[in-house]
Chains A and B, each alone.
Chain A
């Protein structure tokens, strides 16, 4: 797939299948994401890209295939040729290292911005309030919202909420960040702020998997890009190559509509 850098890949998928009842959403996904890579997933809605992303932190359970993060299987333990699902607490332990940003932000509405960012380190890692607060302040400053720390999510714009959500995910100091269409629910003029934060993260060497419709971002920031359709990977490569010189007809017709 991509030129694998030395060491274990951050995410490795081998023949990942997922279905909801009769609907077969993922039909054998194989791909690899290297550490420090910005990996973009594009495709029409219903192509399974969000589902795949959610499989990576076990919000969805895969039905077949192997999916590992940093060399460890996601949500399962392998014994012989069978996979045994992990307990709730074991899954939670693995999710600590994987940050996720949602299309609809999903901030906790009953907590202020800074409380949202402090929550997981205190509750999950047992950090002291002072330490968590100091980091939360730093992170809010990083996403340009230090003056909104005491605001509730309902008092923030969509773009601000999404930046708080990114800070909340970063507070757990993850080694991998998943972005599920982070700008799709935003007014066009607010998209830029969120993308700037993501660009900054990429520059700092964060491994990122981004499901997006922002082709400009993919081209500029992405290290590799995958085009998915109907549950399979249709085409992959460097974003510039795929976006400017797509090989498959399906990719061409999709790009002609979105570019």
Chain B
């Protein structure tokens, strides 16, 4: 309010303005001081230091972690974990979109099938599903695809396939609900406009609705990817040599069992961090057109901050 009065203008002849017409003094605006933030930061840092020192003083051989950090078994386990994450998520996303479209279909048969699938796979623990896939040989002794393939179930069901089916099909049920929310979030006018242009239902979905739904679908999907990365550790139960399994094996033989858990945890943290960065750029891509300006990438932010540091001549803003 006072800043307004400082505007120089010819109509600046308010009777209450004191003194003769002096040049307007630029007023300095001071933002609210947040002293509480300094205090809480100090407290948080103190707590962190206490926790670190407690762990450092514990009966843990920290030296074992760097020794095995880039061990071949760890790296191969990580490769398997990543492979499993990507393939399961691919099954989950494709299946999820399919199920969501089926669920929203006007055809009562397809929507019921989708409903049942989601009900079943979301309603049972994924670990149970994994073990059932592994033991399905009790029901189907052979797998027989006519002239193409025929073998015992137990031979056919490799640990990788078990893991993929168990994790992927379970994930599809969750992705279906995420995709359904995304599809429903797209304005109905979009479908109408597309139909009015002569596009079929399938084309409308593919060209108009799904690209817009992605903006809603990507953030929770990123969440699912990170979740999946960690859920893959469950498949050590079906003899699959992924990261946690390998770390535990090393722990058994080297006698540094707990240390190897910390090692695995560190790798999981590194991987989730990398995924989060990927997610940011994906969100940015699907956000195009939805707002006037895209969010800045970290590099652009740093650049902008450096530039503003350079010309911070006066804090009068």
Binding site for B on A (CB under 8 A): 57, 59, 88-89, 92-93, 95-96, 98-100, 102, 104, 106-112, 119-120, 123-124, 152-155, 165, 168-169, 172
Q: For the complex formed, measure the closest distance between the CB of B292 and the CB atoms of chain A, giving whole angstroms.
A: 6
B150 interface residue (CB < 8 Å to A):
no
On chain B, the number of residues with a Cβ less than 8 Å from chain A's Cβ atoms is 24
Bound together, the chains give a CA A169 to CA B291 distance in angstroms of 24
Bound together, the chains give a CA A154 to CA B190 distance in angstroms of 15
Tell me whether B291 and A154 are in contact (CB under 8 A).
Answer: yes
Bound together, the chains give a CA A106 to CA B209 distance in angstroms of 12
Bound together, the chains give a CA A113 to CA B295 distance in angstroms of 21
Tell me whether A153 and B289 are in contact (CB under 8 A).
Answer: yes
Tell me whether B193 and A108 are in contact (CB under 8 A).
Answer: yes
Tell me whether A120 and B289 are in contact (CB under 8 A).
Answer: no
Binding site for A on B (CB under 8 A): 187, 189-190, 192-201, 203, 207-208, 211-212, 286, 288-292
Tell me whether B200 and A106 are in contact (CB under 8 A).
Answer: no
Tell me whether A123 and B290 are in contact (CB under 8 A).
Answer: no
Q: Would A123 and B199 be within 8 Å (CB), given that A153-B289, A154-B290 are in contact?
A: yes
Tell me whether B288 and A119 are in contact (CB under 8 A).
Answer: no
Tell me whether B290 and A92 are in contact (CB under 8 A).
Answer: no
Q: For the complex formed, measure the closest distance between the CB of A85 and the CB atoms of chain B, giving whole angstroms.
A: 12
Tell me whether A124 and B211 are in contact (CB under 8 A).
Answer: no
Q: Which residues from chain A contact B187 at a C-beta distance below 8 Å?
A: 106
Bound together, the chains give a CA A99 to CA B196 distance in angstroms of 7
Tell me whether B192 and A110 are in contact (CB under 8 A).
Answer: no
Number of A-B contacts (CB under 8 A): 75
Bound together, the chains give a CA A124 to CA B189 distance in angstroms of 19
Q: Considering residues B199, B200, B201, which has the most beta carbons from chain A within 10 angstroms of its beta carbon?
A: B200
Bound together, the chains give a CA A151 to CA B191 distance in angstroms of 22
Q: Which residues from chain B contact A111 at a C-beta distance below 8 Å?
A: 289
Tell me whether B207 and A119 are in contact (CB under 8 A).
Answer: yes
Tell me whether B193 and A106 are in contact (CB under 8 A).
Answer: yes
Q: Which residues from chain B contact A98 at a C-beta distance below 8 Å?
A: 196
- The one of A88, A89, A109 in contact with B290, judged by C-beta atoms closer than 8 angstroms, is A109
Q: For the complex formed, measure the closest distance between the CB of B15 and the CB atoms of chain A, giving whole angstroms.
A: 38
Q: Would A124 and B288 be within 8 Å (CB), given that A106-B192, A119-B207 are in contact?
A: no
Q: Which residues from chain A contact B290 at a C-beta distance below 8 Å?
A: 109-110, 154
Q: Would A95 and B288 be within 8 Å (CB), given that A88-B201, A110-B211 are in contact?
A: no
What 20 additional pairs, Cβ within 8 angstroms, besides A95-B195, A98-B196?
A: A59-B192, A88-B200, A92-B195, A92-B198, A92-B199, A92-B201, A96-B197, A102-B189, A102-B193, A106-B189, A108-B193, A108-B208, A108-B212, A110-B211, A110-B289, A112-B289, A119-B207, A124-B199, A152-B289, A154-B292
25 contacts between A and B (CB under 8 A): A57-B196, A88-B201, A89-B200, A92-B195, A92-B198, A95-B197, A96-B197, A100-B196, A106-B187, A106-B193, A107-B193, A108-B190, A108-B194, A108-B208, A109-B212, A110-B212, A111-B289, A119-B207, A120-B197, A120-B198, A123-B199, A152-B289, A154-B291, A154-B292, A165-B193
Residue ID in chain B nearest A97 by CB atoms? B198
Q: For the complex formed, measure the closest distance between the CB of A18 and the CB atoms of chain B, giving whole angstroms.
A: 16
Bound together, the chains give a CA A104 to CA B197 distance in angstroms of 16
Tell me whether A93 and B198 are in contact (CB under 8 A).
Answer: yes
Q: Which residues from chain A contact B198 at a C-beta distance below 8 Å?
A: 92-93, 95-96, 120, 124, 172
Tell me whether B197 and A106 are in contact (CB under 8 A).
Answer: no
Bound together, the chains give a CA A106 to CA B188 distance in angstroms of 9
Q: Considering residues A59, A106, A152, which has the most beta carbons from chain B within 10 angstroms of its beta carbon?
A: A106
Bound together, the chains give a CA A112 to CA B190 distance in angstroms of 15
- The one of B197, B203, B288 in contact with A110, judged by C-beta atoms closer than 8 angstroms, is B288
